[in-house]
Each structure stands twice: as structure tokens, then as C-alpha cells.
Structure 1
Amino acid sequence: MNDITGEQKLLAVLSHLAYLLGGLGFIVAPLVIFLLKREDRFVYEHAKQALVAHLVILVFSAITGLLCTLLIGFLLVPVLAIFWLLLLVTSIIAAVRAVDGQLYEYPLIQRFVNKL
């Protein structure tokens, strides 16, 4: 992985920081990069990590939203906020690692990542 190009680094960083695109861009961008760059191990691994992390937070957010309609989900809102903050911090760390040409593994989700 010594010959990581600027394009590879950019795609890896985009995968991690795709939530800045708004809407479902935080799922679509890493998914497209993941599907199109399967032959590029560096970009593929970064996109895979980001995609799984973003999917986990999306599912947790959806479950919390549904439970809020039953009035019990409001108890999960602070936990959800902590998870979003954790995603923000870890994705910035992942983006910095990508710029440095290194791989990054998000904490707590490796079991899901390894299945992909």
C-alpha cells in the first residue's frame, strides 16, 4: 500500500465523510464507491468500513424514530446522539488515516464488516 494515489485517498475520505452530503448520501456514496472499486483494496476496505458504520447508524436511527412514535423511543434519543457523535469522531479519524495511506477499522462493528 505504498503507492496510494491522491484519487484513492479522495475516494476513501469521501466514503467516510459522506454524511456531509446530506440525505441518504451517507449511504449512497460509500455504496457506489464500494461497488465500483472492488479491485482497489485500499478504497474498497475504506468504503466497506464506512458503509457498514453508516448502515448501522441508519438502522439504529430508524428504530429509535419508530419507537419515538410509541413514546418509549425518547429514552433512546440520548444514546442515539452519542452514537452519532461517535460516528463523527471515528469518521474523522478514518479520513485522516486514509489521507495518510493507512487502513482504519471502526470500533464495535467489525463482526458486521467481516461478513461483507
Structure 2
Amino acid sequence: MNTVTGEQKLLAILAHLAYLLGGLGFIIAPLIIFLLKRDDWFVYDHAKQALVAHLAILAASVVVGLSSLLLVGLLLVPVLVLLWMGLLITSIIAAVKVSNGQLYRYPLIQSFVDSLS
């Protein structure tokens, strides 16, 4: 396996922890990294993982938010909170793996990630 540089680690960590940027930064940052670093297997793979995970949580948030307008979604808010906590935990794990130069696979979304090749 090739050695991973500090820049590669930094970009991969940024992709995973982009939700700390606020707003839509959690989608835009991994998307930009994903599009610009196609030639770097390590950064590309991490950006792809993060992008799909962040898009999945965004989709879940939109569904719960819209269904909350009908009062049905209020029951789903605790589920959404658990999903966001899961994203927080798994992205921190991913950032630690990146700092060790390792790959990380988010649970439950791998089939979507594989379809982005």
C-alpha cells in the first residue's frame, strides 16, 4: 500500500467532518473534494464515503422535516436525532482511521457508495 501524505489525510478528514462547516457545507465540501481528487484513490474513496453518508442524512432530514408539517414526522424526530448522532460517531471514527492512513466504510450505505464508481 502506498504511503498517505499529510495533505491526503487533511482532505479526507475535511470530507468526513464537513458538517462542522454548517449550512450546506457538509454536502459542498465532500462534493468538491470528490470531484477534484478523482486521481487520488485515498482522498477520492473517503470523499465518496462521506458524500453518500451526508446525502443520506440530508434526505432523511428533509423527509422528517416535511412529514413534521403533517404532525406525523414529530414521531420521527427521535429517529432523526439518532441518525445524526450515528453520523457524528461514524465520521469521528472515519477521521481517526484517516489519520492512521486507513480506509473506512460507513455502515448501511455501502451499496450506494459502490454505485458511484
Instruction: State the shift of 1:27 in Å.
Output: 0.1
For 1:27-38, list aligned pairs within 5 A. 27-38=27-38
What is aligned with 2:3?
3
Map 1:1-116; keep pairs closer than 5 Å: 1-116=1-116
Partner Cα distance (1:112, 1:15) in 2: 17
Q: TM-score, normalised by structure 1?
A: 0.99
Please, what TM-score do these two structures have when normalized by structure 2?
A: 0.98
Identical-pair percentage:
71
Q: Any idea what SS the aligned residue of 2:65 has? A: helix
- Secondary structure, aligned partner of 1:2: coil
Amino acid at match of 1:73: G
**8 Å Cα contact 1:48-1:113 kept in structure 2:** yes
Q: C-alpha separation between the residues in 1 aligned to 2:66 and 2:3?
A: 46
Q: Residues of 2 paired with 1:2 and 1:13: CA distance?
A: 18
Specify the code of the residue in structure 2 equivalent to 1:35.
L
Give the whole-Å Cα distance in 2 for the aligned partners of 1:90 and 1:67: 26
Q: Which runs of 5+ in 1 are unaligned?
A: none
Report how many residues are paired.
116
Q: Give deviations 1:41-84, integer Å, cap 9, x for gaps.
A: 00000000000000000000000000000110001000000000
Compute the displacement of 1:3 (Å): 1.4
Contact 1:2 1:101 in 2 (8 A): no
- Return 5+ residue gaps in structure 2 as ranges: none
- 1:83 is paired with a residue whose SS is helix
Moved over 2 A (4+): none
